[in-house]
Amino acid sequence: MANVLIVDNEKNIRKILGEFLREEGHNVRVAEDAAIATSLLKMEDFDFDVVVTDIILPKMQGVDFLKNIHESRSGVQVILITGNPTVKTASAAVRCGAFDYLPKPITREIFVKSVANAVKAKYRNEANHIVKEDNRMYRENLKQMVANRTTALRTSEEWLSTLFEVSKDAIIIIDREGKIEMSNPAAEEMFGRSTADLRGQELTRLIPEEFQEKNIEVDSPCLRMENTSGCMDRAIEFTGLRVNGSRFPLELTLSSCGHSENWAVMAIIRDLSRRKYMEKELRTRALQQEAVAKLGRIALADVSLDEFFDETVDVVSKIMGIKFSMILQLLPDQKALLMRAGSGWEKGLVGSATVGTGKNSQAGYTLHSHKAVVMDDLKTEKRFKCPPLLIDHKVVSGITVIIGKSEDPFGILTAHTTESRMFTKDDVNFMEATANLLAEVVKRANFEEKQARLVTAIEQAVEIIVITDSQRSIQYVNPAFQSITGYSSEDVIGKTPGSA
């Protein structure tokens, strides 16, 4: 579900490449020259992830356009395409920071894979930038705090003591026997244990017992300086244990300090919860994009509407990590929604269970609000009530989105869980993208059904029906024509009515 801009002065190239990407679930904009593309890139309400541009463009070369993109949108990945690949243009593309360089003609497989890799690179760069920015801001804040106190400090001992106290990282001093000697306020806040509580204990007390064997680098032999090989001055990831029993990811760096009889170890510990959360969100977003693309490929296959519905609710449950998902179809009387497909619900409900369309249910409220509705916790929800269907299944949180246009909806796509959950914007985007795909599949199925009915009506009509092209050449005659006139379709196809 990336935003991609295709720039090429050949209309057919723009159309073909755009179709390739839309089939993969991407949002695509096109431009015929660099000027139009630049205007699109300046749109504040549309953030492009990837730009695909021809090297040869009217008024501006693709390489120069690439430089402009990096100056105005530094995070955008750029793929250059050319019908005349040369070493010179390839070298220029690399120097200017192009993500990829593709010679024409371009196969669908190579193009789609290149764009997918460019999207992953953009997300990876964004994540690294956020982490680096967090580290930079932390260092700047710490530096500022230290600078503000420096004027009041008179000795190096006072300066180090202040740094020890204000650090946001936990700092624990361990003596040569491997026992904790002191800890700073950040350590007390992180683990929920005071220095008095930790003094005389080994660092392994801060690790869950079941994980201690997996964290041999922080065992007492290393901390006593009996075996320092491989464990000093490098970051080690392990699982920490708070006083309330909760576990969380940590990064530990051990450094020796002091000399001879005053030898000790300083352990600097950083909470990795936020970083791990971001990494998980990026993985989830990638899985959601792959899921939508997979459903798009299934939609193009020869499957029935019910089969596609069943596959969709299974994919939503798996990717969202939730227990319940369903597709609700708005009934003709507009008073109820019928469970057309479901995952996780009790047997017998699909095809029979209904939900009202009034504002007193989440599904009904979604129809009236014309947008996605997120329920973080049913206990605190004030906008609507929970229908018996959700109560019976102990639902706590969920997302509902409209399938189709809000003024003429097909129904509602839902995702519900039995645990309180804070759904993200990416979760909502995934649900809306899936609902949009469902709407297109329903639209196509309805069209095919109408077309089939029309064909049947023509075939079974008792009157003569003749279909001609713009040149009045007969293209089709129905069975009634053959039975009434005695002419077969082979006798008249390709002829004009007057000559047949």
Summarised one tens digit per residue, pLDDT across range 418-442 is 998 888 888 999 999 999 999 998 9
Candidate from 103-107, 216-220, 471-475, 482-486 with smallest mean pLDDT:
216-220
Task: Please give the CATH architecture assigned to the domain spanning 167-271.
Answer: 2-Layer Sandwich (3.30)
DSSP string, 24-88: TT-EEEEESSHHHHHHHHT-TT---SEEEEESS-SSS-HHHHHHHHHHH-TT-EEEEEESS--HH
CA–chain centroid gap for 288, Å, is 5
User: What CATH number does the domain located at 3-127 have?
Assistant: 3.40.50.2300
Q: With a cut of 90, say whether residue 323 has pLDDT above it.
A: yes
Q: What percent of the chain has pLDDT over 70?
A: 85
Res 220: pLDDT: 44
Cα–Cα dist 281/399, whole Å: 18
CB atoms within 10 A of CB 278: 15
Nearest alpha-carbon partner for 171 in 255, 236, 228: 255
pLDDT: which is higher, 290 or 225: 290
Res 37: pLDDT: 79
Residues 6+ apart with CB under 8 A from 285: 123, 426
Report CA Rg, the chain. 32
Candidate from 73-77, 86-90, 215-219, 250-254 with smallest mean pLDDT:
215-219
Reported CATH class of domain 301-449: alpha beta
Res 309: pLDDT: 92
Nearest alpha-carbon partner for 328 in 314, 340, 346, 312: 340
Question: Do 301-449 and 3-127 have the same topology in CATH?
Answer: no
With 0-12 / 13-18 / 19 or more C-beta atoms within 10 angstroms meaning exposed / middle / buried, residue 497 is: exposed
Assessment of whether the complete model's pTM goes beyond 0.85: no
DSSP string, 381-395: --S-PPPHHHHHTT-
Break the chain into its structural domains and give their ranges. 3-127, 167-271, 301-449, 461-492
Kindly give the pairing relationship between strand 336-343 and strand 354-356: antiparallel
Summarised one tens digit per residue, pLDDT across range 292-308 is 888 888 888 878 889 99
Mean pLDDT to the nearest integer, 496-500 = 70
Beta carbons of 305 and 448 less than 8 angstroms apart: no
